Amino acid sequence: MLWGRWVALAVVLLAFAATPASAKTHWLCKPGTNAANCTPPLSTTSFSPTGQVLGVRNVRRDRKPKFDCFYVYPTVSDQPTPQATFAIDPEINSIVLYEAARYTQHCRLFAPVYRQLTLQGIGVSGASTATPQMRQTAYKDVRDAWRDYLKRYNDGRGVVLIGHSQGTFVLRRLVQKEIDPTPKQRNLLISGLLLGGNVLVKRGQNAGGDFKHVPACRSTRQFGCVVAYSTFNQPVPPTAIFGRTTMPGDQVLCTDPAALGGGSAPVTTIYPSAPFAPGTTIGVATNLVGIPRPDVSTTWIEARDAYQSECSTADGADVLQISPLNGAPVPNPVPDANWGLHLTDANIALGDLVDLVATQARAYEAKQTAK
């Protein structure tokens, strides 16, 4: 069965580690490249929660973006080997469109291709065949791309980190090793959007755990901080892959991008109108979630107030619980309840995340100007 071995992903991802090796950077996105997937048009059709068209918006990009986004994508590769090559396959182009391209409304987007553990490698159709060296290779590809970005492209600009799933596990390590202990790099951090990857903090606190200096974001005007959550819409099973940790004294961080200060709030859901790379494993899985993808002429579809979000600690799991509003469809956990709505993490509140980083960037720029 296609999903029978997906639990192996959690075991593999949680074992990520660093290595001092190096490799040439292969860019999926940087200014002036791969415009169709990295900087597509921002035209957006708005829908009601029940699917009625409300109108079309021609969203404008900032003429001169003042900050950058550095994106590391999740496990998507369908290559038949346990470790991906640097090939930019259809699923790689689709994932950057789905999860990162919308942020180019406000930022320049940099996204390295990295030799990630493939779906085959993490055991989707059998036992995991990934090795520690493969995990190290994936990390050092991203680490070297980060160093390359800082050396050749950054020029003192603020940066938003964006990651999901395997991408978040890699970025957690990058922040631990490169950014958190280095004041010069910490001073560049606007925020880290580390989704679906069990970021840890000390229990009852906003820091500690993974990072000593970089705290959780608890205000829209706070910067140099982290937004992290995993999405569920049902009770979290005791065997859930996300939202739980066995690390003594730690808990998994949940920060709701629509209500950083706590409580609940409606979210703005945004997806590309194009289907995710047809015929791929993640393309099939995305369809099984059950969020409709209407046929429209715009690049994006948007639904405001279709879902409500709130960080929950029920049953000892720290997750972002999503509930439908106003007749919106109920998403399906895929591949099963242990994963929750993992495949929706990046899009269920994408409108809120894009607005949040723009607000954080303004606060960051104001602080830099005042120095």
Number of separate domains in the chain: 1
Residue 169 belongs to some domain of the structure: yes
Residue 315 belongs to some domain of the structure: yes
pLDDT of residue 6: 43
Contacts by 46-51, CB closer than 8 A, 24 or more apart:
46/302, 46/303, 46/304, 47/294, 47/301, 47/302, 47/303, 47/306, 48/303, 48/306, 48/326, 49/303, 49/305, 49/306, 49/324, 49/325, 49/326, 49/327, 49/328, 50/326, 50/327, 50/328, 51/292, 51/294
Q: Supply the pTM of this predicted model.
A: 0.93
Residue 94 belongs to some domain of the structure: yes
CA–CA distance, 114 with 108 (Å, rounded to integer)? 19
The residue range of the domain holding 37 is 7-370
Residue 2 belongs to some domain of the structure: no
Residue 234 belongs to some domain of the structure: yes
Residue 83 belongs to some domain of the structure: yes
Residue 150 belongs to some domain of the structure: yes
pLDDT of residue 160: 98
Residue 1 belongs to some domain of the structure: no
pLDDT tens for the 371 residues of the chain, in order: 333 334 344 433 444 333 333 458 999 999 999 999 999 999 999 999 999 999 999 999 999 999 999 999 999 999 999 999 999 999 999 999 999 999 999 999 999 999 999 998 887 666 778 889 999 999 999 999 999 999 999 999 999 999 999 999 999 999 999 999 999 999 999 999 999 999 999 999 999 999 999 999 999 999 999 999 999 999 999 999 999 999 999 999 999 999 999 999 999 999 999 999 999 999 999 999 999 889 999 999 999 999 999 999 999 999 999 999 999 999 999 999 999 999 999 999 999 999 999 999 999 999 988 87
8 Å CB contact between 124 and 84: no
